[in-house]
Structure 1
Amino acid sequence: MTSTAPDIPLADRIHGGWLGRVAGNMLGKPVERGDYWTRNRIDRYLRHTDALPLTDYLPAPPEGTAGFELRPEWPACVRGRIDGSCRDDDVDYAILGLELLESRGFGFSTEQVGELWLSRLPYLQTFTAERAAYRNLANGLKPPLTATYDNPYQEWIGALIRADVFGWTCPGDPRRAASLARRDAVLSHTGNGVYAAMWAAALVAAAFTAAAPRDALDAALTVIPASSRFARTVRRVTSLYEASLSWEETLATVESETAGLGWIHAVPNAAVLTAGLLYGDGDFTRTIALTVRGGLDTDSNGATAGSVAGVRCGAAAIPAQWRDPLRDRVRSAVFGYDGVRISELAERTERLARHPGVTEASGVTEGSGVPPA
């Protein structure tokens, strides 16, 4: 694959990935509850607040508005009120993944992922599959039992949201990114939950060199079983897009075909993500706006879509309305990282991407670097 914009430095692409992840997460956070905030309700809210087309963070609800119950955190993540990012697990896991690669190296084990969770991540800031795995770790279980014992969330979206850092540190190498993501994912997930993480990591890695979002999506599909429901759903969205169905028609079709899986399951969320990337057509704002308007796990999907779109365009090209309110700061529940600068996280990620075999912990070379940007 060859990039359409080879002049974008690697550092700017990685910074764009971090900024895009945080901005997309913040965009989707006020409406993160897919059983209530359906696509229809989200668009009704946007029409009610005169915010269609969506080109900025969600507006605050007008005084006396009924029928639109935003998440409790909404006052800190709507347009005009954002002063740095809110804390969210979609960003916490990216930070934790960076800490993992810096401290354990690219040869980390699944057991070391668990050790890092126990030492750096508060239990009450974990949810669904991650909380089940954390509990199992604390009770002395080892992988893969941490993913399978008393865990009904094994194919939900949690491992997917942890995958971006593996893509950022393996630019242009989707297969290696997927391998790292799999090692992380099996701590808490199985089946389509693991494939989701491998796909997301490969998607981000491919975005560095892909000529178009479709090329990155095609590359990401090569790292997971073609017969899996996850892969079949991504291909289904692509086929509907190629058949010239509208974005709304595509999502309505796939929604009926994935009914019953629940709004946090990896498979229907992959459909929303894929549609956002395809119909967003390489435009950062349109990509994250369509992805969040697609509903389901809005903040997680917005974060991953923003990461891919940010890598493709670079930080300098992300419009100011998304970037400036973040103030280059993130809140985080990961011990030692609350208030960290986004630019610092990006710089540390770039060092790993350029020298993936050398870690601060060991100084031992494990692999080759990437070509200069």
Structure 2
Amino acid sequence: MGLPHSELADRIHGGWLGRVCGNMLGKPVERGDYWTRERIDRYLRRTGALPLTDYLPEPPPDADEGEFELRPEWRQCVRGRIHGSCRDDDVDYTILGLHLLQTHGFGFTTEQVGDAWLLHLPFLQTFTAERAAYRNLANGLKPPLTATHDNPYQEWIGALIRADIFGLTCPGDPHRAAGLARRDAVLSHTGNGVYGAMWAAAMISAAFTANGPREAIDTALERIPASCRLARAVRHTIALHASGTPWSDTLTEMAEQTGRLGWIHTVPNAAVITAGLLYGAGDFTSTIALTVRGGLDTDSNGATAGSVAGVLCGAAAIPAQWTEPLEDRVRSAVFGFDGVRISELAERTVRLAADSAGRLPPAPRADP
């Protein structure tokens, strides 16, 4: 990898901060079937928040009933009201993954991932594929049956949102990061659900050494089957951006191509993340703002794009309007971690990253 320790620490801290900031930005409008791109931008225009350069503002006082239905937690994650981050599974799984690596090392098994869920994560704070897998674990099933038994969400975005920690602890080694993410993902996902996790982990890992977001995305694509739907959607998004297609038109075309899969499926969300990173052009604020304005699973997408952008620029370069309201604290449902400092999570991650080199056997490339 070759990064000086101080730069490595700053970039890992940037990845953590970016994830939390992006998650908090997207959380009030997380419901892709209601919060379409058009509704999100209408909200931003009504509140004088375009261009979007800060957390979402409060709802306009003259809004009609039912016009803008924010999530119940909105009062904890709009500008002027944020005092530390609110709890969210997009951050819980990053924390739990960190604990997993600290407890079992880089040779952890998929069964140990399941044990960590049962021991440290409340059942009612899991959703879709994770809840199905948790239920299967509690009923005595073992991987890979935990992912396939009575689980209609196998290709949804859940495994992708768990992948950050594997990229952060394998800086500059996307092959290793993807292998770790795969071992975690198969507890609850199959197919593109697994590939999404591998792609996200590899992209975050590649961001430590990449010359911008395009290089990180391209490197991550090498870690998943070229013929899978996820890879095809990401490549299509790249091609539209390279051709000079405007951001909004790119998302319209990708929605036409992938929208039938639903707003929580990995593939359409990967297109939104890719567009946010490419059109954001390495600028942290533009990246998370465009990603969240892209709709679908807004908090998850903002978090992943924020991780990549945060690693690319480092913590010191993230504008203060994003980081200061967090007060270096996160709420978490992971037992023992509620109220933990973000800087402490970053420090633990730095130690793991420094210890990781050469301690993991090569991971097999996933089959299509």
**Equivalence for 2:277:** 277
**Equivalent AA in structure 1 for residue 359 of structure 2:** E
**Equivalence for 2:56:** 58
- Cα contact 1:27–1:77 (8 A) shared by 2: yes
Shift of the alpha carbon at 1:2? 9.8
Matched, 1:47 2:45: yes
CA distance in 2, matches of 1:264, 1:46: 23
Residue identity over aligned pairs, in percent, reads 76
What is the alpha-carbon root mean square deviation over aligned residues? 1.5
List, as ranges, runs of 4+ consecutive aligned residues in structure 1 with deviation greater than 4 Å. Answer: none
1:1-373 aligned at under 5 Å gives the runs 9-66=7-64, 67-356=67-356, 366=359
CA distance in 1, matches of 2:230, 2:106: 26
**Equivalent AA in structure 2 for residue 166 of structure 1:** F
| Residues 1:8 and 1:46: Cα distance change in structure 2 (over 3 Å) | farther
Shift of the alpha carbon at 1:62? 2.1
- Aligned to 1:159, what secondary structure does the other structure show? helix
- Cα contact 1:144–1:187 (8 A) shared by 2: yes
Q: Which has the higher helix share?
A: 2
CA distance in 1, matches of 2:336, 2:205: 27
- Cα contact 1:169–1:356 (8 A) shared by 2: yes
Provide TM-score, normalisation by structure 2.
0.96
Cα deviations across residues 182-212 of structure 1 (Å, max 9, x unaligned)? 0000000000000000000000000000001
- Aligned to 1:166, what secondary structure does the other structure show? helix
Cα deviations across residues 310-331 of structure 1 (Å, max 9, x unaligned)? 0011101100000000000000
CA distance in 2, matches of 1:21, 1:38: 22
CA distance in 2, matches of 1:331, 1:46: 27
CA distance in 2, matches of 1:79, 1:2: 38
Provide TM-score, normalisation by structure 1.
0.94
- Cα contact 2:176–2:360 (8 A) shared by 1: no
**Equivalent AA in structure 1 for residue 256 of structure 2:** S
Shift of the alpha carbon at 1:356? 1.6
- Cα contact 1:76–1:83 (8 A) shared by 2: yes
Where structure 1 has 5 or more consecutive residues not aligned to the other structure, the ranges are 358-364, 369-373
- Aligned to 2:106, what secondary structure does the other structure show? coil
Aligned residues: 359
Shift of the alpha carbon at 1:236? 0.2
CA distance in 2, matches of 1:243, 1:344: 42
- Cα contact 1:8–1:314 (8 A) shared by 2: no
**Equivalent AA in structure 1 for residue 62 of structure 2:** G
**Equivalent AA in structure 1 for residue 212 of structure 2:** A
- Aligned to 1:152, what secondary structure does the other structure show? coil
| Residues 1:317 and 1:150: Cα distance change in structure 2 (over 3 Å) | same
- Cα contact 2:19–2:305 (8 A) shared by 1: yes
**Equivalence for 1:371:** none
**Equivalent AA in structure 2 for residue 41 of structure 1:** R
Shift of the alpha carbon at 1:366? 3.1
**Equivalent AA in structure 2 for residue 263 of structure 1:** W
Shift of the alpha carbon at 1:259? 2.4
CA distance in 1, matches of 2:156, 2:70: 23
**Equivalent AA in structure 2 for residue 246 of structure 1:** P
- Cα contact 2:172–2:208 (8 A) shared by 1: yes
- Cα contact 2:167–2:174 (8 A) shared by 1: yes
- Cα contact 1:157–1:196 (8 A) shared by 2: yes
- Aligned to 2:187, what secondary structure does the other structure show? coil
CA distance in 2, matches of 1:259, 1:325: 35
CA distance in 1, matches of 2:37, 2:5: 37
Cα deviations across residues 208-234 of structure 1 (Å, max 9, x unaligned)? 000010000000000000000000000
- Aligned to 1:260, what secondary structure does the other structure show? helix
CA distance in 1, matches of 2:273, 2:122: 29
**Equivalence for 1:362:** none
CA distance in 2, matches of 1:115, 1:282: 38
CA distance in 2, matches of 1:347, 1:79: 27
